[in-house]
Amino acid sequence: MTRDHDVSSITRRQVLAGAGGTGLLAAAAPISARAATRSTAAAAADGTPEQIHLTWGDDPASSVTVSWASPGPARRPRVVFRHAGGGSHVVPAAQRVYTDGINGETVWTYHAELTGLRPASAYGYTVTADNDTSARPFAATFSTAPRGRQPFRFTSFGDLATPNTQWVLSYGQSAYAVAAVESFRPLFHLLNGDLCYANLNPTTQPEVWRDFGHNNQASAAHRAWMPCLGNHEVEFDNGTQGFTSYLTRYSLPDNGVRGFRGHWYKFRVGSVLFVSLDADDVVYQDAAAFVAGPAPLTPVSATGNPAIAPGTSFYIRGYSGGAQTAWLERTLATARRDPSIDWIVVQMHQIACSSSATGNGSDLGIRQAWLPLFDKYQVDLVLNGHDHDYERSFPCRGFDSMVGTEVATGAPVQTLRPHPVTTDDTGVFDTSQGTVHLVLGCGGTNANLDDYGVDTADGLRQAKVFTKPNRPIPGAAAGTFTRAAADAVEDAPWSARRDTSTGYGIAVFDVDPGVPGGHTSIKITQYHALGADPVNPATGAAGAPTPDYTEFETFTLIRPRSDRHAGHTAERSSALA
């Protein structure tokens, strides 16, 4: 594939932290798409599976979906799987195809849902097609989830990118991050948004996704990787919300909401309900696809799509018309009535509680739409990406009113600041009393560690907060446009811990179901990759990607088991009957 310029020297901070960065990107990046360079004839003949990755089906104890892509259309694409000591089963794959709306390249993907599997069991599988040109079909193994209250491990980070440094925001740490997931051998991984930044490489989006898929396969072919949408999954000319690349490549549990399958979903493992949300639907921040100018973004003529004018941003706040929030409330209410569910863990990309000063910060949109529901239904843990750092909040419930300050005027402004139920960092937190938020935008993106906010007046931690849309405004150079940083600040007593030594890491979660009548716990360890930052935040020296992840901190969440009173309830019911 060809490119007009190498823009890999543009850092994530320049791209993400407000206006100047996006202007820079537009000035340097190629903006006229070229037709796909791959030979159509060769691609048409090649159904070799690549970018193989697993996701959970509707029930992780009994269903797993195998997804992949191939250079051209596959003939009779299929998965053959077998249980240890059992016979082979052949599952035909469904084909999903899209044509990128900017460079006109067609992407062929395949999805086979394996159902009727046994809980906590290992399976071997192969992926192939009649026009698979590999010497031997791809083969790997996976394990299904346990059923009932059982211990298990999962991992998480966001903002992964690819190891191909041709692409804006890609960096070698992306490969080590995938290897880190494998090294911890989790049951599954939560990839909390901004997967590969294809929308910052708008004329080569399918190629960026392809490098992302190749990189992830080293882990995602062996265990489910469950993603969520971030601002960088929003792509011009690829669907109503710009999600066609993501939605075509991932097969995710059905949320039952017509028109929005794959946008948000839930699944359950053991006594934990996992809820994956699309915060693009509620955030004020405008940080998705954007043409900063001065040149327009011009799709190839074959797409039939017109040039996209400078100053255009793809802003999708409110796109579900409240459907996602209504689904969330139904989901949370049902879960909290279920005595077999103890924990509710939410993943979403953008952040309610981030005190990053040079990155994005917090967003009032999430605080307005979803934190009241997290309070009402005792959501235990929220996992985010978006800012390139690691930050942990104290458990929070409710809010402190009118304690924000508008940056432009110094006037008081409502930020609905989450209220910490304790500021004593004991290392053990009862999340039935408040929700803990983690920022895990520490995957593999090419970026230096964010600076964290400090209120210079009192020395306390300070957070930036978006309280209104930062839509494009004219930039400094003629014909360019920019998007402003967050419009408000607040002191941040909810902030418990920030990693000031590196912006790279992975969080490892070990669920202990506990015993009947007692508490259950999740032990959380953040491992970080010291020295991986392009510029070391402590020394200023140049760093390099590293495979070495070491412990940064460990803490434990506890809550009473939900079956505590189930026995009493059952006795009372039988007495009444």
Residues that bind Fe ion (CB under 5 A): 194, 230-231, 386
Q: How far is the CB of 232 from Fe ion (least distance, A)?
A: 6
The residue (of 174 and 231) whose beta carbon lies closer to Fe ion is: 231
Cα 364 from Cα 409, distance rounded (Å): 18
The residue (of 194 and 380) whose beta carbon lies closer to Fe ion is: 194
Q: How far is the CB of 360 from Fe ion (least distance, A)?
A: 7
The residue (of 53 and 386) whose beta carbon lies closer to Fe ion is: 386
The residue (of 194 and 487) whose beta carbon lies closer to Fe ion is: 194
Cα 442 from Cα 142, distance rounded (Å): 26
The residue (of 243 and 394) whose beta carbon lies closer to Fe ion is: 243
CB atoms within 10 A of CB 515: 10
The residue (of 71 and 230) whose beta carbon lies closer to Fe ion is: 230
Residues in CB range of 454: below 8 A, 6 or more apart: 357, 460, 461, 462
The residue (of 365 and 493) whose beta carbon lies closer to Fe ion is: 365
The residue (of 169 and 529) whose beta carbon lies closer to Fe ion is: 169
How large is the C-alpha radius of gyration of the chain? 23
Cα 218 from Cα 163, distance rounded (Å): 13
Closest C-alpha to 263, from 365, 331, 197, 348: 348
* Tokens, residue 575: 């007495």
Q: How far is the CB of 385 from Fe ion (least distance, A)?
A: 6
Which strands, in side-by-side order, build the sheet including 88-92? 88-92, 78-83, 122-128, 138-143
Q: How far is the CB of 284 from Fe ion (least distance, A)?
A: 14
Instruction: Please check whether residue 358 is in contact with residue 448, taking contact to mean a CB–CB distance below 8 angstroms.
Output: no
Q: How far is the CB of 350 from Fe ion (least distance, A)?
A: 7
Q: How far is the CB of 230 from Fe ion (least distance, A)?
A: 5
Strand 188-191 to 224-227 pairing: parallel
The residue (of 349 and 417) whose beta carbon lies closer to Fe ion is: 349
Q: How far is the CB of 198 from Fe ion (least distance, A)?
A: 13
DSSP state, residue 534: S
Q: How far is the CB of 472 from Fe ion (least distance, A)?
A: 17
Q: How far is the CB of 231 from Fe ion (least distance, A)?
A: 5
Residues in CB range of 489: below 8 A, 6 or more apart: 404, 405, 407, 453, 455, 462, 463, 464, 465
The residue (of 126 and 231) whose beta carbon lies closer to Fe ion is: 231
Going from the C-alpha of 394 to that of each of 46, 360, 421, 428, the distances in angstroms are 52, 20, 7, 10
Q: Which residue is at the shortest CB distance from Fe ion?
A: 386
Q: How far is the CB of 408 from Fe ion (least distance, A)?
A: 24
CB atoms within 10 A of CB 301: 10
DSSP 201-255: SGGGHHHHHHHHHHHHHHHHTTSEEEE---GGG--TTSSSSS-HHHHHH------
Half-sphere exposure of 343 (CA within 13 A, CB side): 34
